[in-house]
Structure 1
Amino acid sequence: MRDLVPAEAWDELTSGRRRIHPAGTILLRQGDTGTHVLALLRGLVKVVRRDIEGRERLLSFRGPGEVLGEMAVQNDRIRLADVQAISICEVASLPAHTFRHFVERHGLPGKLACLANDRLWEQTQAGEGDLDQRLAGALLRLVAMSGDRVFRLTRTELAQHLGAGRNSVSDALRRLGPSRVRADKTCIEVVDERLLHDVLRRYPV
């Protein structure tokens, strides 16, 4: 969202009440009414949807400059997923009616529709094709959106995001190797972005 509006408009959007949340906090909850949006100023979050049988799918990650919960507000519907902090997060809260007015005043409906399409494409890319490439792409997106290289993520969470089994993700991490990425039980570290880009381009290593 920050890239869609002038700097002064983003400052206006984030001028509301600010709060800092520790990692693990549920910032928005699936099934709740869309009463407000959150502008993410600092930190990294994951968007997780549960099906009726309780299975979870990690749909996407979001970083600074994103607005969270805008779909429920724009469509006047319940929230379709949880948004949970992966790291310490600072957010600014904006009531639904204020956000809708902001969107209209800055001519954003079309841009938000394009943004929703981009997010759908991102989810599709995460779930289709060669697993090594999908994993490399997901890690590079995390680096790009956060500016960090170390993430509090488990193999299970990566598997939920990529639509793969946990063991398959562990095998993919081994194939990528410690020259590209290191992983332990609760942490993923991107070692060399260039080598991960090579995986995306199918260059020999």
Structure 2
Amino acid sequence: MDDAHLGESSWLLDDEEVLALELIGSTLRRGDGHVFMREGEASDFLLLIKKGHVKVTTGQPPRIVALRGPGETIGELGVIDDQPRSATVIAWGEVEALHVPANDLRTFLDQHRRAERALHAAVRKRLGQATRKISDSDLMMERRLAKAIIELYQNGLCEIIDDIPTIRLSQKDLASMTGASIEATKKIIRVFKEGGLVDTGRFQLRLTDAGALRKIADGNPTSSW
């Protein structure tokens, strides 16, 4: 077997299983930036990367959750579970991949139970990796948002209303200040609010626990991720 088959397939799929896939699949060659799969689309094929790399992204704005290379499979989760794509897959440079239609893959898995178990194990591992990446990213954004709020507070850009420091700005303004998406900003503000650190109103952010926000800004995250 040539170098194109090295990588995850060296422990995920054995030589016989890879050769069986090659008999039912077709080879694709695509350039940098080509979109092989889009998040939300129907899951109607699997890819086995033979040469090059792809990046796996999810969400809006897109967040890279993984890079996959020679020997690795992409798209099995949606095919196995008959669910829409959970991520977008884009060529990172020149890519050669084996395209295996969903129905042919299911037949292959019925005939190769070891491969089916291996693919399920790989899916569980990847989901765990993706979750940790997203969680780590959320923690970084949480700290950035807390720092922005504390800087506004320390620079006197707030007023005291009912004995509570209050900053007059929208969550959209906060998102713009930190470079976060409005969705991510709303998510983190909700966590802060549930923890009693802030309260919100129309174009208002009330700092109900500025001390706790300062601790987050200094690198002590909440326990909500």
TM-score range, shorter chain: 0.5 to 0.7
C-alpha separation in 1, matches of 2:117 and 2:18: 18
TM-score (norm 1): 0.57
* Stretches (4+) displaced over 4 A: none
Are residue 87 (structure 1) and residue 93 (structure 2) matched? yes
C-alpha separation in 2, matches of 1:86 and 1:48: 12
- Residue 111 of structure 1 deviates from its aligned partner by 2.2
Give deviations 1:114-171, integer Å, cap 9, x for gaps.
212221332344453999xxxxxxxxxxxxxxxxxxxxxxxxxxxx9xxxxxxxxxxx
Q: Which amino acid aligns with 2:70?
A: P
Q: Which amino acid aligns with 2:89?
A: V
Q: Which amino acid aligns with 1:6?
A: D
Q: Which amino acid aligns with 1:101?
A: T
C-alpha separation in 1, matches of 2:112 and 2:13: 8
Sequence identity (%): 28
C-alpha separation in 2, matches of 1:17 and 1:29: 20
C-alpha separation in 1, matches of 2:85 and 2:15: 28
Q: After alignment, is 120-129 or 15-24 more displaced?
A: 120-129
From 123, 136, 142, give the equivalent of 1:128: 136
Give deviations 1:6-32, integer Å, cap 9, x for gaps.
212202212322121111110111221
Residues 38-187 of structure 1: matches in 2 within 5 Å? 38-50=47-59, 54-107=60-113, 108-126=115-133, 127-128=135-136
Are residue 26 (structure 1) and residue 32 (structure 2) matched? no
Q: Which amino acid aligns with 1:12?
A: A
C-alpha separation in 1, matches of 2:130 and 2:42: 24
Partner of residue 16, structure 2: 8
Closer/same/farther in 2, CA of residues 57 and 76 from structure 1, 3 Å limit: same
TM-score (norm 2): 0.52
C-alpha separation in 1, matches of 2:131 and 2:102: 29
8 Å Cα contact 2:56/2:67 also seen in 1? yes
The alignment yields a C-alpha RMSD, in angstroms, of 2.6
Unaligned runs of 5+ in 1: 132-159, 161-205
Unaligned runs of 5+ in 2: 1-7, 141-179, 181-225
